[in-house]
Amino acid sequence: MSLLEVKGLRRDYGALRAVDDVSFELEAGSILGFIGPNGAGKSTTLRILATLDVPTTGTVLLDGHSLVDAPDRARPLIGYMPDRYGTYDDVTVAEFLDFFARAYGLKGALRRQRVASVMEFTGLGPLADRLATSLSKGMRQRVALGRTLLHDPKLLLLDEPADGLDPRARIELRELLRALADQGKAVIISSHILTELAEICDTCAIIEQGRLLATGRVDDILRQGAGIAELELTVRLAVGAEGEAAWARAERLLLEQPKVARVTRDGNSLRVRVELASGAGTEAMDAAAAALLATLVSAGLPVCAFGTRERNLEDAFMTVTQGRLA
Amino acid sequence: MQTAEVAPAPVAVTSSRWEQWSDRVNPLVIKEIRQGLRTRVFWVCFGLMLMACTLLALLAYVQSQDARDFSRAGRDFFLAFFCCLSVVHFFVIPYTAYRSLAREREEETWVLLVLTGLGARRILRGKVSSFLVQAALYASAVGPFLLFSYYLNGISLPSVLVVLGLGGAWLVFLTLVSVCAATLADGRMGRALVHFMLLAVLVVALGQGVGISFMFGHSGDRVLRDDDFGLGLATALMVMLTHGWLLFETAVARLSLPTENYSRGPRLAWGAQWLLGLVGGGAVWWFAGRSHAVAEAFGVAGALQLGVVGLFVATDVDGQARPLRAATRPWSLLRPGAVRGFRLTVLLLVLWGAAWVVLQSQSGMVTYNAESMRMAMAALPLYGLLYLSGALLMGRLPRSNRAASPVAVRVLFALAVVLGSALPPLLALLVGVDADDPLINLLNPLVGTVNFGTQTSGGPKMTWGLLQFLMGVTFLAVFAADRVLVERERQAHQP
């Protein structure tokens, strides 16, 4: 049985439908990336999952407890980290964590031990006596993550956790999240930094205008663009008016080819989008690329480099959203 | 990078007695006191207050040495020391409490606190308690000086105790007002408006607090010996206590999650306030020799207060969260939802009006305007209900939700009352009759009430028939509003 089951989630604010019929499942120990542009409904969904908001319709079961009908029972299983760090002035890191541990009802030695283990896990030990507000963004992010872990939740909800972090802090955050997933915690990360998510997440859900457009394992989502490939080729052409005419001829020649859907010029390289029938495999794609290269060479174009660009989550996102955000 | 296991391990370490005690204390109290004692505001205020008191004490000492006869400077110095404390107690503490909670909401740390399971009530209780502890710390610094002033003579111990007691109640009330104010606005503009309004209120409250303490201090035992003083003091304390409770519960409700039974606290406090008002007022009426004036004052003031609070209770949102619906019965008037809030308002207003009309009719000595005042006391709650129902019908009857929000309905109510009070007199002048014409102003909440309470040489200006007509119109409006709210709740609960 999945740890989290979301079925037919809908949230209306008057006439505005912020979330529309969202359904997905999440296993313990897996990381789900929630992808979508600003205003897509990511934060609303996360707020509902955090029991801060109530859906208009739909059910959410966390470890068998309904988040809608019995939120008090489900709340101890949830760790929610909003996009703001939420630290206090004039409070040290240790005091901050101690306060939240008390708030979660942890008492005496158990509380001390829990705070210590969270500080060790997040690497905050050396900073225990520093004021939380004097820390760097990355460190404050760790304090916020530490607070989320104090009550040992089963589900972590992280709203834009990598936003504003430097590359080093992002890598460290990624490692922390991986470690948490290895401990059996389910993690949902909402983000619009797609490359970041591809490296962290096992599964992802693409949401736009409140609707879930695609959900599943990252590999499956990437495969949703099967039949589409982008080829990158570099050609050496003369400069000046003569060269411009040659560029135009090359572009025209490419567009005349049956599988080519789009050609874009970038400096002295051309990017060609080749579209085959939906579900076409790698072999068909390779054959189409070879045929295209042969045509270009036989037409006398000086091709210096030729290759297929690897598809990433960004491409999958644009495919799934049909490029509406482009 | 370390990624140690974060799961808890069994604990065998015993806790110290101090730790066991601190575990029982509200976590907010510990956090806020820790935080508060590190702030510059605390130490600057503490230092300045201590310095001012020391200077005053030195001055008092020099004066007492110079005094040829028996010194009576204690009263003035007591008030001077109390003034120093008042600035902190009536301004700094409430304002800091407001800022603390407002920042909690602005920085969204409030959400994190709520998710811990502490609950809005415990969090706010912790906030208020922590600021009262800080107030006690300030008071501990001024305490020896106040005692010193007592030994300078000129002020009696009962006067000192009364001033300090009232000062303490005023401090608690202002802290609760500030905490409630911090929950009022959500938008940036609204917050700025509330901020400035609270600053103005606290400046006025500081002036009032100091002024009243001066009055008590200067009048000395004379005021304390006055028969009405105890009654006035008890009434003031009761008003502060019950309104403080209501404001606290309102703040809790404003900060509760939608899945919680947020309306129970404020409605319970309101009901208790109603009952205390009725019982306390009844006692005052009885001990004042079943006085007409007491019945009329309580009847009118209570109806006005119920009308204002009822406006907020009856304009709740439609329906309630799914977890609460199953256990809700038609008489569950404390549960969320506009329909139950409206019914509670109707019940309390009608019962209040009826109770005081009965008590007024049972009053001892009959006055010349007793009958007209009785009609006015009955008319006032009716006008309240009529205009409240009208606002609800205007806001929530149309299919469009544009004017259905709680704020929009309150604005509609205010507009309706203003127009309903201003237009009929103008209409009366246009048609060439007196501006306060009884018939044209029959539905005018202001002139209508005054007309019902007016006694002419020939008897009451209005008749019981007109009151019955008003009653009928109000009944229809209330019924229609109730049906509209029931229908809207049904729609809100539909999937």
DSSP secondary structure letters along B126-180: HHHHHHHHHHHHHHHHHHHHHHHHHTTSSS-HHHHHHHHHHHHHHHHHHHHHHHH
Quote the ipTM score: 0.80
Averaged pLDDT for residues B131-144: 92
User: Residue A80 and residue B7: Cβ atoms within 8 Å?
Assistant: no
pLDDT at A57: 87
Q: Is the domain covering A228-310 a CATH 3.40.50.2300 domain?
A: no
Structure tokens at B335: 């549960």
Instruction: Name which of B30, B31, B42 to mutate to probe chain A: the one with the most chain A Cβ atoms within 10 A of its Cβ.
Output: B31
Higher-pLDDT residue of B140 and A274 is B140
Could you tell me if A134 lies within 8 Å of chain B, comparing CB atoms? no
B28 contact residues in A (CB cutoff 8 A): 103
* Chain B nearest C-alpha distance from A318 (Å): 33
Pairing of strands A228-235, A57-62: unpaired
Q: Percent of chain A beyond pLDDT 70?
A: 88
Instruction: List B residues 201-230 in contact with A (Cβ-Cβ < 8 A).
Output: none
Query: What's the whole-number mean pLDDT along residues A264-288?
Result: 72
From chain A, the residues in CB contact with B29 under 8 A are none
Q: Which helix (H) or strand (E) holds A80?
A: strand A78-81
Which residue from A82, A152, A179 is facing B3, i.e. has the nearest CB? A179
pLDDT (tens digit per residue) in B350-371:
999 999 999 999 887 777 788 8
Q: How confident is the model at residue A228 (pLDDT cuts 50, 70, 90)?
A: low
Nearest residue on chain A to B119, alpha-carbon basis: A103
Please check the confidence at residue B12 and state whether its pLDDT lies above 80: no
Beta bridge partners of B107: none
Q: What residues does each domain of chain B span? A: 25-225, 255-321+330-495
Q: Does residue B3 register a pLDDT over 80?
A: no
pLDDT value, residue B1? 45
Q: What is the pLDDT of residue B149?
A: 84
Q: Look at residues A262, A271, A253 and name the one whose alpha carbon lies nearest to residue A307.
A: A271
Tell if the CB–CB gap between B108 and A86 is shorter than 8 Å. Answer: yes
State which H helix or E strand residue A59 sits in. strand A57-62
Return the minimum-mean-pLDDT range out of A12-21, A254-263, B384-393. Answer: A254-263
- Residue B49, burial from CB neighbour count under 10 angstroms (0-12, 13-18, 19+): buried
**Range(s) within chain A of domains with CATH label 3.30.70.100:** 228-310
Strand order in the sheet with A203-208: A65-66, A57-62, A4-13, A16-26, A211-217, A203-208, A31-35, A186-191, A155-159, A78-81
Lowest mean pLDDT among A113-127, B153-167, B444-458: B153-167
Question: Percentage of chain B with pLDDT > 90?
Answer: 54
Contacts of B23 in chain A (CB under 8 A): 102, 107-108, 111
Tell me the range of A233-242, B300-309, B398-407 where mean pLDDT is highest. Answer: B300-309
pLDDT given at position B127: 93
Question: Residue B408 — very low, low, confident or very high, per pLDDT cuts 50/70/90?
Answer: very high
For residues A43-56, average pLDDT: 90
Assign a CATH topology to domain A4-218. Rossmann fold (3.40.50)
Give the per-residue pLDDT at B251. Answer: 94
Q: What six digits make up the tokens of A94?
A: 């240790």
Strands across the sheet containing A260-266 = A260-266, A269-275, A228-235, A303-309
pLDDT tens per residue, range B211-270: 888 887 777 677 777 777 777 788 888 889 999 999 999 999 999 888 888 999 999 999
Least confident of B163-167, B200-204, B270-274: B163-167
Is the CB of B34 less than 8 angstroms away from the CB of A110?
A: no
Per DSSP, A131 falls in state B
What rounded mean pLDDT belongs to chain B?
88
What residue ranges of chain A are covered by domains with CATH 3.40.50.300?
4-218
Check pLDDT > 70 for residue B87: yes
Residue B11: predicted pLDDT: 47
Three-state secondary structure call for residue B109? helix
